[in-house]
Amino acid sequence: MANITEVTTKGYFSRIGDAVKGVVFGLILFLGAFGVIYWNEGKVDISEIGETATKVSAESVDSSADGKLIAVTGKAVSTEKLGDSMFLKPADYLAVSRSVEMFAWVEKSESKSDTNTGGSETTTTTYSYSTSWTSAPGSSSQFKEPAGHSNPEMSIKADTFHVNSAKVGAYDVDMSKLVLPNYENLTLKKEDLDLTKGVFENGFVLVGKGTLASPQVGDLRISYSAVKNNLDGTVFGKLEGGKLVTYVDQKTAESLYRLFNGTFDEAIKQMHTEYTMWLWIFRAIGFLMMWIGLSSLFGPISVVLDVLPILGSISRGAIGLLTFLVSLVLSILAIVVSMLIHSLVAMIVVAVVGIIAFVVVLKLKAKKPTVVHV
C-alpha cells in the first residue's frame, strides 16, 4: 500500500493562540516538577527495611519471630504442577507468563514542519504501513487509512498464572500476593506443549493460517517465561502463625513481601540497586518537566518572532539553552532542599553549622581593629 501524505497549514495568529495556551501547560509542568522531585527524594530505600529483617533458618518455623519481619533463605517449592490451560502442559513452575504477539498492520507517521515568512507553519505528515509482529496491534479504525489495513481482534490474550500454594523452606507463602523474581524465558520442546490448537515452530506456538517464515495478518505467535519450581532464593515477609504475609513498616508505611533469587546479601543489593535506579530516573523526569515547562512559558516569544523564520529559529535556540541551564540549576537546588526537608538529621546539622558560622562571623567582626586617623 502506497504512503499517504497530508499537508496542513496553520496561520500566524492561530499559532500565537496555541503558544499562549501552552503557557498554562508550561506553568503546570514547571510547578509539577518541584512536586515530583520532592516526592522522589522522600522515597524509602526498601533495602534499609530489608536489612532490619530477622534471619531465620529455613529448616523449621521459628515461632519466637512471630509478628516480626523475617528473611528466609532456602528453596521455594510447590507440590503443584502449573501450565496455562491452553498450550503449556503442567510442569514444575511456580509462575508462568504467556506472551502473545499478532502479525498485524502497523502505522507509522513522520512529520516535518516549515515556518513560512509571515509566521504561518506548514506541516507535511507521511503515513506508512507495514506488517510486523506486535504485542499491541493498533485498531484499524484509528489509522489514517483504514482501508486495506484491517487488524482482527486477538483471540488469545497474554496472561500470568501462579500455583495456589508454595513454601520457602518450612514457611508457607501466599502466591497471590508474593512479589516474585523476574520471569525467565522458557526454551520449549514439542513435548512440553499441547498442540491441538496450534503448531510448534522455532520456539513459538503458532496459531493461524501462515508460518513464521510466511505469516498472514491475524496470525498469533506465543511464547512463555516462568519462575521455576525449587528456586534457591530469599523471601522477606512478616511471620504470622507459621505463614509469611505482607510486612508493613510502621515508620514508613512501606510494605515488603517479596521473593528474590539468591542469598540475603544479594537480595539487599538488588533492592538498593532498584531504589537508586528509580531515584535517578525520577530526578531526570523532574528536570525534563522543568525544562519543557520553562520552554513553554517563553514559547509565545519565538512564535511572534516567526514572522521572520530566522528570528524565531534563533530565539528557540537561545531560549532552549537558557531554560536548560536554569532548569539544571533549579533541579539541583530542588533535590538538595528536598533531601534536607526529608532528613531531620541533615536539617539539624545544617542549622547547627549555620549558627556556628554566624557566631564566628560576629566574633571576627568584634575583634576587627579600629583604625585611628591622625
Q: What is the pLDDT of residues 168-211, one digit of tens each?
A: 999 999 999 999 999 999 998 999 999 998 999 999 999 999 99
Does 52 or 372 have the greater pLDDT score? 52
Mean pLDDT of 353-373: 72
Look up the pTM and report it. Answer: 0.84
> What percent of the chain shows pLDDT beyond 70?
96
Instruction: Show me where the domains of the chain are located.
Output: 10-43+279-366, 49-105+140-262
- The C-alpha cell 505528515 sits at 125
Query: Hey, which residues does 199 pair with through a beta bridge?
Result: 206
Q: Output the pLDDT for position 194.
A: 93
Q: What is the pLDDT of residues 275-316, one digit of tens each?
A: 999 999 999 999 999 999 999 999 999 999 999 999 999 999
Q: Indicate whether 374 pLDDT > 50.
A: no
Q: Output the pLDDT for position 340.
A: 87
CB 177 within 8 A of CB 139: no
Query: Hey, which residues does 204 pair with through a beta bridge?
Result: 201
Q: Output the pLDDT for position 362.
A: 80
CB 140 within 8 A of CB 105: yes
Q: Output the pLDDT for position 347.
A: 65
Query: Hey, which residues does 159 pair with through a beta bridge?
Result: 98
Q: Output the pLDDT for position 111.
A: 94
Q: What is the pLDDT of residues 49-78, one digit of tens each?
A: 999 999 999 999 999 999 999 999 999 999
Average pLDDT over the chain, rounded to whole?
92
CA distance 96 to 114: 51
